[in-house]
Structure 1
Amino acid sequence: MAEEKAQAAGWFRALRDEIVAAFETLEDAQATGPFAGAASGRFEVTETSRASDDGSDAGGGLMSVMRGGRVFEKVGVNVSTVYGRLGEPAQKAMAARGVPGMDRDPRFWASGISLVAHMQNPHTPAVHMNTRMFWTPGVWWFGGGSDLNPCIEYAEDTAHFHDVQKAHLAPHGEGLYAELKAWADEYFFVPHRGRARGVGGIFMDDRNTGDWAADFALTQDIGRAFLPAYLPLVERRRDTPWTEADKDVQLVHRGLYAEYNLVYDRGTKFGLATGHDANAVLMSLPPMAKWI
């Protein structure tokens, strides 16, 4: 699957480049509000690496983080391609999920993009997106999705975010959007708080229909849906006046987001268990949060 792996990794990198450029354009266009006089935010790019037990090359990626911008308080857009042998904890976790052959052969290859944005304006929703491909000698699969995480909810924003995703998934089969929406509702639920972390989106994992090209095309359309689903919401809300009470609501909601990512998120657990750069894995955490 060397050719397929290269296609997937190249796509994730191209999507990263497109999103980084779009977010920096938003920063340049912000001419009003309390941060308009500040310099436009720019991404700081750092190469990341995965640590292997024997010191051999185990892959890595790019961590791109913008902090203290006009629009974005903190946003990260990471890409990585890692490979090697899974450690025993990760191997057992994958075997428990039913990954074929993982109990016999711990070799793996994984590539993907991961994005989390935390905004200056409390009325502008935070957002998460990721897509990935995973391979072992026994199987390949795709996963990922995106979900909207506003601390102050607007029904029209939620409708737009879901409508764009539904349109992008429509070519891939009737009922697929409803399936992936329900999956997101279940996956992004915070059990110990008894609530969802946001207003949902789409999510899939272990996607292998036997048709690699079709599954890759679906994964690409999940990625393509992100900017048209999200950018209009930023443009709509970024100049909305806010109060200290609004900011307090935002910080408390970020606490919920942090709890989910540290306790339940599968990607966080996998990244830390396989020795990837901890700063890159924990990029999703907000710059500031609050607990009641």
Structure 2
Amino acid sequence: MKPSTPAGAVTKDFEEGEKFIASKDYAKAIKSFKKAAEQGHALAQNYMGLIYAKGLGVTQEFQKAEPWFRKSAEQGEPLAQNNLGLMYARGEGVAQNYQQAVFWLLKAAEQGNSEAQYNLGFMYAKGQGVTQDDEQAVFWFRKAAEQGDEVAQYNLAFMYEKGIGVTQDYQQAVFLYSMAAGQGSADAQLNLGGLYDTGEGVEQDQKQAVTWWSKAAESGHPVAQNNLGLMYAQGHGVTQDYVEAHKWFNLASEAGDESAKNGLKIAESFMTASQISEAKELASDWKKSHS
């Protein structure tokens, strides 16, 4: 009979694994996590799954990740249940199976895992593995949003803005977009700027629209860059400045925003050759600083 490993030793191996992975010493992390995982440590098993799923110090192999996630998930570890659910949803390491994805995501979501709650909401919104149900999507997005999940906050805000699964409520949309935007969600910053621009759910304030579109534009969001170009071209919320307008239209256009190409042409019709040259240089500098 194989002697058991004392619980303290298993915990020590796991804690050492955490230290090694934090310092990106993946070889030592794998050795420590594997020792703990083989003794049944659920979080160590989840880490072993992540190591293979992300290719940390090893070749990325989803088929090797799956057994570790499953061992951990079957012990009730919500992180692993969420990860296993995602593997089934994406068909990574296993045959794609939305019903199995929902099965594992629900287990994790019911334990309060915010990522699983968001992912389950997404499954309900898309009708993957379950009957499409916007109200259930709202239910799970809300649970994740209340835990601070910015993607869930954004999705829930969008549903309030459009009246999907809930009664349309622009004020709630503004509140939730603000939460997500404050965490750096460029999509939320874009939509929050839009609500300030139109005055829906909040007092119309084009300066605030510019503020939020600027944040999203700096993150590289092409629609926000185009919107910011329009504000500078028209002098809405900012002093009219065709050089700045051209810069943002240029960046948005290069990022694939078709409407920005038209804005670029219109802006150039009001600019001198030296202004156009200056604007192009500003756009070039922006790209270098954000590369």
Report the TM-score, using the length of structure 1 for normalisation.
0.22
Report the TM-score, using the length of structure 2 for normalisation.
0.22
> Which one has the bigger helix percentage?
2
Structure number with higher relative contact order (C-alpha < 8 Å, ≥ 6 residues apart): 1
